[in-house]
Structure 1
Amino acid sequence: MPRLLIAAFALLLAGCSAAPEPTPVSSEATTRTSEQFSDQELQAKWWTWAASSPENRNPVVDDTGQWCGENQPEDVWFFAGTFGGAVNRRCPVPAGRPLAGPALNLASTDANCAAFMEAAKGSVTLDGQLVELRRIAPVAITYQAAKDNVVGQSEGRVAAQGCGLWAWIPSLKPGEHELVVKGASGGFSTSARYLLTVSSAD
C-alpha cells in the first residue's frame, strides 16, 4: 500500500515523540464558519492537490515551504502535514483566500478509514488559538492523480474512502501568522509549523 495512505496523508505525521500529544477532537466538533465544500468536495479537492506534483516539488514532502504554493486552487489555500516527522515552513498566502487542510487524514478503504479514525487525534492552531475541527467519517471520494505523483497512485482518477480531522479558516488579515498542525493515530504522528505571510489586497 502506498506510504501516504498508510501514514496519513494518509497525511499528516510519524515520529514526533518529543511533541505533546494533541487533544482529542470530539465527533461533534465543527468549524465555526460555514464550509464552502461538502465532505466529498473538500477531500477530493485536497487529494487532487496533494497528488498533483512529484516528490521533488510536492508541498507535503517540502520541509521549508518553497513548494507550498505549488498547484494551489484559486478558491482556497491548502496546507498539509508530512509523511512523517516535524517541519517548519515559510509560505506566502494570497489575500482574500480561505485556508483548509487536515490535522490528520487518510484516503483508503472504508475499513482502514474506520480504524484510522477510531484512534485519530489532532489539533490546528492559528496564532495560538485553537481552530475547531470538522470530523469526517469514511465517505466516498474521487480525486485526480498526476503522473509520478508522490502518493503512489497510477496517473488518472482514483476512487477511495476519505476521512480525517479537517480545518477551515476564513481568509486572514494581511501580515504574518503562525499555523501549527498536529495529528496522531496509532503509531503515526504529524507536526507542521507554518509561518504565513498574507499579502495585502490589491
Structure 2
Amino acid sequence: MLIVPRLWIAAFALLLAGCAAAPEPTPVSSETTTAAGEQLSDQDLQAKWWTWAASSPENRNPVVDDTGQWCAENQPKDVWFFAGTFGGAVNRRCQVPAGRPLAGPAVNLASTDANCTAFMANAKGSVTLDGQLMELRRIAPVAITYQAARDNVVGQREGRVPAQGCGLWAWIPPLKPGEHELLVKGQSGTFTTTARYLLIVSSSD
C-alpha cells in the first residue's frame, strides 16, 4: 500500500475570497525564475519535497510545526520548502536564506495512481505571497521515489518509498531581503488547513 497515512494532504492553499464584487488578483507566473532558481522537474520536485517531509520525527517535523521553530529542519541547499498542515491552522515565523527559491504544494498526495486521480478531482488550492496570488503548477500522477527516515511522521518504513505523486505546486523565485507573508490555505473534501508564514529573508547566506 502506498497511501501515506495522515498525509493524504500534506499542504493545501485555498485563497479566501473577498467580497463578491471584488475582482480576483491575477496570478503571478512562477515561470519567471533566475539561474539560481530554475524549476525542478515534476518528479524531482515531489521526490525532494516528500524526502524532506519524511526526514524527521513528529517532535521536530516542519509539517507538524505550529510556530516555525523547525522551518530549517533538513532543508536542501538549492530550494527552501514550505508546507501546510495535517489539518487546522498554524502561524509560523521562519528565517529564509537569501538567494534560495521557495517551493511547496498547495495540495498534494503520494499514493497510487487511482488514489491520486480521485484525490485531485476534489482538490483545490492557491498560494499567496505578500497578498499576491501565485500561479500553481498542476501535476498529474507521476512515478516518484522518496527517502523516508526512521520514525518519520508520514508513517512509512525507513528506506526508499515508491509512489505516484500528484498535486498543485508553487515555485517562487528567490525573495528580496526583508519580511514577507506567505499564505498556504485550502481544502480537499472535508479536510481543511491553513499555514501563514512570516518569512524573514537574510541579506546573505
TM above 0.5, yes or no, is: yes
Alignment root-mean-square deviation, CA: 2.1
Aligned length: 190
Q: How far off its partner does 1:2 sit? A: 4.2
Any idea what the Cα deviations from partners look like across 1:176-196, whole Å, max 9, x if unmatched?
000001121111122100000
Sequence identity percentage: 78
- Per the normalisation by structure 2, the TM-score is 0.87
**Map of 1:149 onto structure 2:** 152
Q: Which residue of 135, 140, 152 maps to 1:137?
A: 140
Q: Structure 1 residue 53 and structure 2 residue 56: aligned?
A: yes
Q: In structure 2, what is the Cα distance between the partners aligned to 1:87 and 1:103?
A: 15
**Map of 2:23 onto structure 1:** none
Q: In structure 2, what is the Cα distance between the partners aligned to 1:176 and 1:4?
A: 31
Q: In structure 2, what is the Cα distance between the partners aligned to 1:185 and 1:123?
A: 12
Larger radius of gyration: 2
Q: How far off its partner does 1:142 sit? A: 0.2
Q: Structure 1 residue 5 and structure 2 residue 7: aligned?
A: yes
User: Which amino acid in structure 2 is aligned with residue 149 of structure 1?
Assistant: N
Any idea what the Cα deviations from partners look like across 1:55-111, whole Å, max 9, x if unmatched?
000000000000010000000000000000010000000000000000111001111
Query: Is 2:7–2:86's contact at 8 Å kept on the other side of the alignment?
Result: no
User: Which amino acid in structure 1 is aligned with residue 78 of structure 2?
Assistant: D
Q: In structure 2, what is the Cα distance between the partners aligned to 1:41 and 1:182?
A: 24
Q: Structure 1 residue 77 and structure 2 residue 80: aligned?
A: yes
Q: Which residue of 85, 95, 104 maps to 1:101?
A: 104
Q: Structure 2: which 5+ residue stretches go unaligned?
A: 19-27
Query: Is 1:103–1:124's contact at 8 Å kept on the other side of the alignment?
Result: yes
Q: In structure 1, what is the Cα distance between the partners aligned to 2:46 and 2:90?
A: 23
Q: In structure 1, what is the Cα distance between the partners aligned to 2:63 and 2:7?
A: 13
Q: Secondary structure at the match of 2:157?
A: coil
Q: How far off its partner does 1:3 sit? A: 2.9
**Map of 1:32 onto structure 2:** 31
**Map of 1:163 onto structure 2:** 166
**Map of 1:87 onto structure 2:** 90
Q: Structure 1: which 5+ residue stretches go unaligned?
A: 23-28
User: Which amino acid in structure 2 is aligned with residue 109 of structure 1?
Assistant: T
Q: How far off its partner does 1:147 sit? A: 0.2
Query: Is 1:141–1:161's contact at 8 Å kept on the other side of the alignment?
Result: yes
Change (3 A) 1:134 1:2: closer
Q: How far off its partner does 1:161 sit? A: 0.5
- Per the normalisation by structure 1, the TM-score is 0.88
User: Which amino acid in structure 2 is aligned with residue 159 of structure 1?
Assistant: P
Q: How far off its partner does 1:53 sit? A: 0.2
User: Which amino acid in structure 1 is aligned with residue 94 of structure 2?
Assistant: C
Q: How far off its partner does 1:54 sit? A: 0.2
Q: Secondary structure at the match of 1:196?
A: strand
